[in-house]
């Protein structure tokens, strides 16, 4: 008689891992596709709190979900509030809605082009121009784009840049060569005008030039050059102009978006950021007090709190790459900065949890090669954004702790960093945060507007780079594929150089 693990009906992964098929355990993708129950796992496609061999002992989906604030609807009592939660169908069940008939806009009519751009950007279709997204315009990471109508007419150079942005995006969405060519010409014209204007002595106090750099960095994304050196050059130029605004204390809402753009770029590239320095903290605090069109207070508060992170990451990288041992006081200084950052983040996160419901997952697994079996659902894109930003920052902070712990002499002890977590604990927590972000991709990026989709760019990039540093090619490959699907659905290019690097690492698996 065959042993239990080899009886007919058990799946191949379970037999190979000598695991007994059990309905109480999560299933590998092979068993999901064949409606079998098992204890094996295909780790190339599933992101959850497991190691590379098997689920953790006594794994229970409900308990695990509650532990990490991911509510399993099957374990919750029925309530009227739950009945209002939007249910996201599987990727294969719903096709992306077709764009409305091409409006054939006149590219020389800037106000009209901006209107068409915003309708497509937010997917505001139909006679009432209501968006199907669970997103309030202006509350996304790129909320400044909703301010474009008020910027039209401020200066010829800004108008030229806005024209390039709008026509490039509309032309790309409809695959209209005429508009795409016009947009590229406008971009080149704006670039020449910007270079000439920046050479003038009064360029530092011209707000239209600052807005132009912000607009042109987005145009790079819509021209399929996203993440490349050209976009980086615009971000760097905008940061330099922001220095002038701080110097003359001439700040407005526009400068907040400039600050955020540089912040996300600095975190993604793990480079130090001037405005992360404590010396800029009073000026930054003053900047966040200026009137804003859209409140979105929790998002802006997170950006302000997280400002020290780029310099922390740069310091950690310097310590880990140093050819000589780093003095313990230097390591402890960085650890203290991490502790301070965590102390500011903790009450912010408590406010988030108290003011809005957390994510949940449906009891039935979703079967699709393009997604995780149990994707997360949220009340809105804004709620999803806050949670994934928190998870991304926690992932980076824990990784920084992990790296520093390997360079700190043992006699200093964990108490030096105000943490009792072991390296193994930190590694497990990092994997969990990365998992939660990956499980949130579908909510933001499938069958949504570009305004909603771009909220996941930064968190997904953080996770992809995390997997790259870990040498986890299986999960990195999933992230690369997710970016590729986003680029195809949104008809844009994003982080091409980073993704090419990642693809070279995982190419041998293709």
Buried b (16+ CB within 10 A) or exposed e, 44-65: ebbbbbbeeebbeeebbbeebb
Chain center to CA of 241: 26
Residue 502 has pLDDT above 60, yes or no: no
Which of 23-27, 295-299, 357-361, 500-504 is predicted least confidently?
A: 23-27
Please give the residue that has the higher pLDDT: either 339 or 90: 339
Mean pLDDT of 442-453: 92
Residue 113 has pLDDT above 90, yes or no: yes
Mean pLDDT of 361-371: 74
Rounded to 5 degrees, φ, ψ at 360 are -145, 170
Mean pLDDT of 276-281: 96
CA-to-CA separations, 178 to 58, 106, 221, 490, in angstroms, rounded: 60, 11, 19, 19
pLDDT category at 230 given cuts 50, 70, 90 is: confident
Q: Kindly report the pTM of this predicted structure.
A: 0.80
CB 136 within 8 A of CB 382: yes
pLDDT category at 495 given cuts 50, 70, 90 is: low
Please give the residue that has the higher pLDDT: either 131 or 369: 131
Residue 69 has pLDDT above 50, yes or no: no
Residue 469 has pLDDT above 70, yes or no: yes
Structure-token match 């949504």, residue found? 448
Q: How far apart are CA 149 and CA 211, in angstroms?
A: 13
Q: How far apart are CA 259 and CA 267, in angstroms?
A: 12
Say whether 38 sits in a helix, a strand or coil.
coil
Nearest CA to 188 out of 147, 219, 151 is that of 219
The enclosing H or E element of 336 equals helix 328-355
pLDDT digits (tens, 9 = 90+) for 341-364: 999 999 999 999 999 999 998 887
Please give the residue that has the higher pLDDT: either 374 or 346: 346
Please give the residue that has the higher pLDDT: either 138 or 254: 254
Mean pLDDT of 3-15: 51
pLDDT at residue 134 in the model: 81
Q: How far apart are CA 315 and CA 390, in angstroms?
A: 21
Residue 60 has pLDDT above 90, yes or no: no
pLDDT at residue 75 in the model: 34
Q: How far apart are CA 258 and CA 239, in angstroms?
A: 7
Buried b (16+ CB within 10 A) or exposed e, 235-252: bebbbebbeebbeeeebe
Residue 118 has pLDDT above 80, yes or no: yes
Please give the residue that has the higher pLDDT: either 508 or 110: 110
Which of 262-276, 297-311, 469-483 is predicted least confidently?
A: 469-483
Of the ranges 77-91, 194-208, 286-300, the best mean pLDDT one:
286-300
What residue ranges do the domains of the chain occupy?
1-42, 61-92+298-510, 140-293
pLDDT at residue 66 in the model: 39
């Amino acid at each position: 008689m065959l042993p239990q693990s080899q009886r007919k009906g058990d799946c191949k992964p379970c037999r190979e891992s000598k695991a007994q098929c059990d309905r109480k355990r999560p299933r590998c993708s092979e068993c999901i596709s064949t409606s079998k129950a098992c204890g094996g796992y295909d780790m190339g496609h599933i992101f959850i709190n497991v190691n590379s061999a098997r689920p953790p002992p006594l794994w229970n989906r409900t308990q695990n979900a509650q532990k990490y604030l991911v509510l399993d609807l099957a374990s919750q009592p029925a309530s009227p509030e739950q009945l209002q939660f939007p249910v996201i169908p599987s990727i294969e069940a719903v096709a992306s809605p077709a764009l409305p008939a091409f409006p054939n806009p006149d590219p020389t009519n800037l106000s009209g082009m901006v209107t068409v751009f915003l309708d497509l950007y937010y997917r505001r279709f139909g006679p009432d121009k209501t968006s199907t997204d669970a997103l309030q315009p202006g509350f996304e990471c790129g909320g400044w784009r909703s301010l474009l109508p008020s910027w039209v007419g401020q200066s010829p150079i800004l108008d030229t840049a806005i024209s390039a942005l709008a026509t490039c995006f509309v032309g790309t969405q409809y695959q209209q060569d005429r508009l795409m060519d016009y947009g590229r010409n406008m971009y080149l014209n704006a670039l020449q005008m910007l270079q000439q204007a920046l050479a003038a002595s009064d360029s530092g106090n011209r707000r239209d030039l600052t807005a132009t750099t912000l607009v042109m960095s987005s145009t790079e994304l819509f021209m399929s050059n996203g993440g490349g050196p050209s976009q980086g050059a615009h971000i760097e130029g905008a940061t330099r102009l922001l220095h002038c605004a701080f110097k003359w204390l001439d700040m407005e809402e526009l400068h907040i978006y400039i600050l955020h753009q540089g912040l996300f770029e600095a975190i993604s590239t793990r480079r130090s950021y001037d405005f992360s320095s404590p010396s800029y903290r009073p000026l930054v605090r003053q900047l966040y007090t200026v009137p804003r069109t859209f409140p979105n207070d929790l998002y802006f508060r997170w950006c302000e709190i997280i400002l020290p992170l780029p310099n922390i990451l740069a310091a950690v990288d310097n310590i880990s790459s140093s050819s000589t041992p780093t003095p313990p006081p230097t390591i402890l200084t960085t650890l203290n900065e991490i502790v301070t950052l965590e102390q500011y983040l903790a009450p912010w996160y408590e406010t988030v949890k108290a003011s809005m419901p957390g994510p949940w997952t449906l009891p039935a697994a979703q079967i699709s090669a393009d997604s995780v079996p149990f994707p997360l659902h949220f009340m809105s894109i804004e709620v999803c954004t806050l949670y994934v930003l928190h998870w991304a920052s926690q992932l980076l902070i824990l990784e920084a702790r992990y790296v520093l712990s390997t360079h700190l002499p043992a006699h200093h002890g964990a108490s030096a960093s105000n943490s009792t977590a072991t390296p193994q604990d930190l590694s497990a927590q990092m994997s969990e945060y990365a998992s939660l972000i990956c499980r949130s991709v579908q909510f933001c990026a499938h069958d949504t507007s570009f305004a909603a989709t771009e909220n996941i760019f930064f968190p997904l990039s953080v996770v992809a780079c995390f997997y790259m540093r870990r040498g986890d090619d299986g999960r990195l490959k999933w992230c690369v594929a997710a970016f590729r699907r986003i680029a195809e659905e949104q008809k844009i290019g994003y982080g091409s150089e980073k993704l090419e690097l990642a693809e070279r690492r995982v190419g041998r698996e293709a």
